[in-house]
């Protein structure tokens, strides 16, 4: 049987919510709040890595692959920064929403219903985004391997996910899903959370060297997310292809 990373249960779950991707008050409201810090982090690290000097469209001519792109919440800002963006997602409903929204905003983004192991474009990318996706796939090692194959030498891969700690269970599941109702109950499965050390090992075996590891924390007073040193719940890793 051919190896794959598609978790049918997860695809069904996100497909059912697909119409709400661009509603800042809907089921993806936490991602809308989360998005500015993700965009800033990705942009600044790309600019630093490629030593980019221009302020207008700083990501121009860079090819980005957004894996598990959903409705396009990251693909669109990357496109506005000048990048040539391809967004892939195994949910046809997500891709349909993403295509409609980008067309409405006159953005040229190549959206494809696929997974990293199945996509066949004979192309490699400067940057790969795996943001809030590895906790929803099966066989994370194979997922990272498939993603790495699509990355150019010296290219960057960003992986944002949830740490497997007691604190992440309390905050991300009990707090966010059951108490605050930020997310629909069942959005996350703690068993699928992944420790940074495990993710780093998967990277090492697939030609990816860790360049940076940061925590992402929510500030309840300012009601915003920020990059911190606390990696116990959410964290973001930047890998460079050997």
Question: Domain containing 216 — which CATH number?
Answer: 3.40.50.150
Number of domains in the chain: 1
Q: Looking at the domain assignment, is residue 55 inside a domain?
A: yes
Residue 3 lies in a domain: no
What percent of the chain shows pLDDT beyond 90?
85
Higher pLDDT, 220 or 188: 188
- pLDDT 10s digits, 170-208: 989 998 888 878 888 888 899 999 999 999 999 999 999
- Predicted confidence at residue 220, as pLDDT, reads 78
Is residue 2 in some structural domain?
no
The parent domain of residue 26 ranges over 8-241
The answer, yes or no, to whether residue 79 has pLDDT greater than 70, is yes
- What average pLDDT does the segment 158-166 reach? 98
Q: Is residue 84 part of a domain?
A: yes
115 neighbors 144 (Cβ within 8 angstroms): no
Q: For residue 26, is pLDDT > 50?
A: yes
Is 95 domain-assigned? yes
pLDDT at 41 over 70: yes
How far is Cα 74 from Cα 149, in angstroms, rounded to an integer? 21
Residue 1, in any domain of the structure: no
Q: Across the beta sheet with 125-131, what order do the strands follow?
A: 109-113, 84-89, 63-67, 125-131, 151-162, 234-241, 208-219, 224-228
Task: State the pLDDT at residue 177.
Answer: 84
Q: What is the mean pLDDT of residues 123-129?
A: 97
pLDDT band at 1 (very low <50, low <70, confident <90, very high): very low
């Amino acid at each position: 049987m051919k190896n794959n990373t598609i978790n049918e249960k997860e695809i069904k779950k996100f497909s059912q919510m697909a119409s709400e991707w661009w509603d800042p008050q809907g089921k993806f409201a936490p991602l809308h709040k989360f998005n500015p810090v993700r965009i800033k982090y990705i942009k600044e690290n790309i600019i630093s890595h490629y030593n980019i000097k221009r302020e207008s469209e700083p990501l121009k001519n860079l090819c980005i692959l957004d894996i598990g792109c959903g409705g396009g919440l990251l693909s669109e800002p990357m496109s506005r920064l000048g990048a040539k963006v391809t967004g892939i997602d195994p949910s046809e409903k997500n891709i349909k929403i993403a295509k409609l929204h980008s067309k409405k905003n006159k953005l040229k983004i190549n959206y494809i219903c696929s997974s990293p192991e199945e996509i066949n474009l004979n192309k490699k990318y400067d940057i790969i985004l795996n943001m809030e996706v590895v906790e929803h796939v099966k066989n994370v090692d194979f997922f990272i391997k498939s993603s790495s194959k699509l990355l150019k030498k010296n290219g960057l891969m960003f992986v944002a996910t949830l740490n497997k700690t007691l604190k992440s269970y309390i905050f991300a599941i009990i707090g966010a899903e059951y108490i605050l109702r930020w997310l629909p109950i069942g959005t996350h499965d703690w068993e699928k959370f992944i420790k940074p050390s495990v993710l780093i090992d998967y990277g090492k075996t697939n030609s990816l060297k860790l360049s940076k590891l940061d925590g992402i924390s929510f500030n309840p007073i300012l009601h915003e997310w920020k990059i911190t040193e606390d990696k116990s719940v959410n964290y973001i890793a930047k890998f460079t292809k050997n």
